[in-house]
Amino acid sequence: MALATRLENLGTETAFAVSLAAAEWAARGNRIFPFHLGDMNLPTPQNIVDAMNKAIVDGKTGYCPAAGIPALRAALADDIGGRRGMSLGPENIVVQPGGKPVITKFIQTLMNPGDGVLYPTPGYPIYESQVDYFGGRPLPYGYRETPTGFAIDLNQVRQLAESGARAIIYNDLQNPLGCESGRAEREAIADLAIEHDLWVLSDEAYFEMRYSGSSTSIASLPGMAERTVVLYTYSKKFAMTGWRLGCAAAPVAVAEMIAKLNTNNESCTTHFVQEAGVEALRDPSGAAPLLAELERRRDAAIDGIGGIPGMTCAKPDATFYLFPNVTEAMAMTGHTDVGDFATAALHETGVSFCTRRHFGRPQEGETEQYIRFAYSGIDVDDITEGLDQLATWIGAR
């Protein structure tokens, strides 16, 4: 029996294959240093756990409104709007089981088959998967490496926008690059969106995952609120990846359609999880120690990479990802294929990581080689030891 043909266009997070390879290597009795996980090995703050337990005891276990419970929609409107200097009401908020569903619902709501959608690559791979799956015209845009990180190739974005695009996906505080837009870059993207009348998905999964400075949402720039859907998630800020709680903050007409998709898909986000979400915003103090721990890890990882021959990486202020250039390290270890380099590193040192390949189609003319270290699922001591092992392996070749 054949499966539906449209599934041929459905992508996935190929990074899960890296988890599998690491698990298999561990099962053979080897020690693993897990830099591949975008997941977190940190506990959800206790007040949030307690609120969820109480909500279950209180019987908040049934269906609830598709767009989210009123208390959570109101709290999210205040929190998301307040932190971005935007005026949002509960009618702009549609609660979701995580941040990820906002991607597919943005595309289903605003993209017709054949419409061009710009998205970043390297970038979160689900953008490309969903554009392909729903029959869009993929318009991937790239980045160039700078002394302080990565910058969007604005000329390419301009050219692609002129080719008749309908929407752009923009991930400021970026996975996997760890980079963020400066003011000029953000404003240039906003100007292009307005000039070409594009819908914008602003993926702000890491908006508050920063160690210094402050974040600005593209949605808060003039002329942007009416064309922008913000992806918000509890996953990272409150170490709640498995709880599945997030929302779309969108213009009312878009929010209403996304709520209709909710009704057709999951009916509603788990009621007692939403109650816990209200508590998280009422008392968010548990997020600060999580961020402090991630900052210690960032510093340990940057120190460790500094000691690895042939590997270079800027120090990002945000996210929990590093995207080192490994072109020279690969040459030193005799590798021309970044996948082979990753496998060799796993087998020789136990250090497990994703590569550029896991983050969307390569851009034409990409010559440099990159890997991604996530430090959200690995403790400081293991970061230091793992990167020492990598330095020793590469240095000895």
Residues that bind ligand PLP (CB under 6 A): 38, 98-100, 124, 171, 175, 203, 205, 233, 235, 241, 246
Task: Label the pairing between strands 137-141 and 351-352.
Answer: unpaired
Q: How far is the CB of 228 from ligand PLP (least distance, A)?
A: 15
Q: How far is the CB of 59 from ligand PLP (least distance, A)?
A: 27
* Nearest in space to 49 (alpha carbons), one of 290, 271, 238: 238
CB-wise, 174 or 349, nearer to ligand PLP?
174
Task: Label the pairing between strands 116-120 and 137-141.
Answer: parallel
Q: How far is the CB of 9 from ligand PLP (least distance, A)?
A: 20
Integer Rg of the chain from CA: 21
CB-wise, 173 or 390, nearer to ligand PLP?
173
CB-wise, 109 or 175, nearer to ligand PLP?
175
* Nearest in space to 202 (alpha carbons), one of 171, 160, 157, 235: 171
Q: Which pair of tokens denotes residue 138?
A: 């993929």
Q: How far is the CB of 337 from ligand PLP (least distance, A)?
A: 25
Q: How far is the CB of 63 from ligand PLP (least distance, A)?
A: 22
Helix, strand, coil share of the chain (percent; to 5): 45, 15, 40
Distance from C-alpha of 233 to C-alpha of 208, rounded to nearest angstrom? 10
* Nearest in space to 178 (alpha carbons), one of 294, 292, 290, 97: 294
Q: How far is the CB of 27 from ligand PLP (least distance, A)?
A: 25
CB-wise, 84 or 100, nearer to ligand PLP?
100
CB-wise, 60 or 100, nearer to ligand PLP?
100
Place of tokens 């170490």: 239
* Nearest in space to 148 (alpha carbons), one of 301, 35, 302, 36: 302
CB-wise, 97 or 309, nearer to ligand PLP?
97
Asked if 35 and 384 touch (Cβ cutoff 8 Å), the reply is no
Asked if 197 and 225 touch (Cβ cutoff 8 Å), the reply is no
